[in-house]
Structure 1
Amino acid sequence: MAVTLGEEIMLLSLDDESGAAKDRQAAGWAVAGGILLELVLAGRLSVSGGRLSVADRTPTGVGLLDERLGLVDAWASKKSTSPKVTNWLTRDHHKAVGAAIGSLRARGLVAEEEHRVLGLFPVRRYPGTDGSAERELRARLASVVLRGTDPDDRTAGLVALIHAAKLHRLAFPEVPAKEVKPRMEKIAEGHWAGDDVRTAIRTMQAAMVAVTAATTAAVIS
């Protein structure tokens, strides 16, 4: 399978040379949301009314997705009602980052390096080793956002997550956010998509906005 949505967001976050993650917290929410949306597009999960349920337990064959599918299934089975998407994002966003990086390493797209801060504290970095996937990703984003090409379902979902998590700078580092936000908002509305896909994209976007707003409020207080 091609690089997944969660991995694509992680590629945007990781600095190509230093391997440091930029906007790590917001990217974490988007990575977790991207994995869920990928599972929805694959028919393994469904969303309705902001809640999440397992529609098909058949493995996708992609380790990153199948691990999360199993975790969501085990977690949801303990609930008396379908759990909220926001609750899963809050639960998983930190771990999702590590899982996405591990998957990128397994694909040979990033390497792992360990450095020591002040000679004492180990810090891991993940510089890129094969830039082809990121170049294709950025070209696709530029095509739909900057040049107005109609997006496919996955690209539209990716744009919606980037927009909701306010990661415009990661996707378009040389373009002011105010110049890309209107087009990204229009793509996120998803009028061209089928009902199920549109519902999934809007649910993920709303969940992203909710969890990032709650996090910001907690930091300010």
Structure 2
Amino acid sequence: MFTIAEALVLLATDKEKGTQVSGADSIEYGITGAILSELTLMERVELQEDKMVVVDRTPTEIPYFETVLDEVEKAKKPQQVDYWVDRLPFKMHNIKKEIIQSLVEKRVLKEESKKFLFVFNWKHHPEADGRAEEEIRNRLQRIVFEDETPDPLAGILLNLIKICNLTAEVFGEDKKETVEKRIEKIAAESEYDVAISKSIEEMEAAIMIATTTAISMTVINSAMPPNN
């Protein structure tokens, strides 16, 4: 069993190189949305007067869930969703390490070290067992192309794949447009509790804005002439 964040990281990791695939530059925002959405579904956090608050501090036994809950709980005052979507990606180095460690412990990824410039150790995480990712991809294929009913976790994962510009990576470049239209339809038909639905919609809207801004800045920076 995988969390949304684990599935997203796995899909965004090159199987052989064990590094992040190209085009996944905004994955930090996607991971943030995955964790906040799942904590919402678990009824550990909720919106109160449009501010995110922790409502259940029972241990989740998932390290990166605890990390995010700690961040939200120790804030001086409750903050809106877009605050956390902007803030948590700056904490993502440790959060992502915890997610990858979880996948290593589940024997889906393995950790390997290489020397960089013969001095620095560089860790990467190729697949140890490809069956897990294949099962996730097959499930998503059935949902998109065979009208299999998605559970809330799969529905959120699909939307984050689209938001994070991973549709072509997961489904193929030739199917990108068709898949994204189908994902929009699935999202529109998703049924959650009213409060949970509002929280997830706000998270996805904030992530969409953040990722669009990040991608735009990347394009602008790459188009600028180098300094002499």
With structure 2 as the length reference, what TM-score do the two structures score? 0.84
Equivalent residues of 2:40, 2:200 under 8 A apart: no
- 1:158 matched to 2:187: no
For structure 1, which segment, 28-37 or 130-139, has the greater mean C-alpha deviation from structure 2 after superposition?
130-139
**Residues 190 and 121 of structure 1, relative CA distance in 2, 3 Å threshold:** farther
Partner of 2:225: none
Secondary structure of 1:25's counterpart equals coil
Amino acid at match of 1:39: L
Percentage of matched positions with identical amino acids: 30
Q: Which entry has the higher C-alpha Rg, 1 or 2? A: 2
Secondary structure of 1:30's counterpart equals helix
Alpha-carbon deviation of 1:11? 0.3
- 1:63 matched to 2:59: no
How many Å separate the matches in 2 of 1:122 and 1:193? 45
- Count of paired positions: 216
Deviations 1:130-170, CA, capped at 9 Å, x for gaps: 22321221111111112222211111111121122222123
Equivalent residues of 1:50, 1:203 under 8 A apart: no
Partner of 2:87: 91
Deviations 1:157-208, CA, capped at 9 Å, x for gaps: 1112112222212321364311211001112224433323422331221011
Unmatched 5+ stretches in structure 2: 222-228
- 1:135 matched to 2:127: no
Unmatched 5+ stretches in structure 1: none
Partner of 1:73: 73
How many Å separate the matches in 1 of 2:135 and 2:174? 18
- 1:181 matched to 2:180: yes
**Residues 154 and 214 of structure 1, relative CA distance in 2, 3 Å threshold:** same
Amino acid at match of 1:63: P
How many Å separate the matches in 1 of 2:211 and 2:48? 21
Amino acid at match of 2:215: T
> CA RMSD of the aligned region, Å?
2.1
Partner of 2:193: 194
Alpha-carbon deviation of 1:43? 0.8
Partner of 1:29: 29
Amino acid at match of 1:89: V
**Residues 45 and 110 of structure 1, relative CA distance in 2, 3 Å threshold:** same
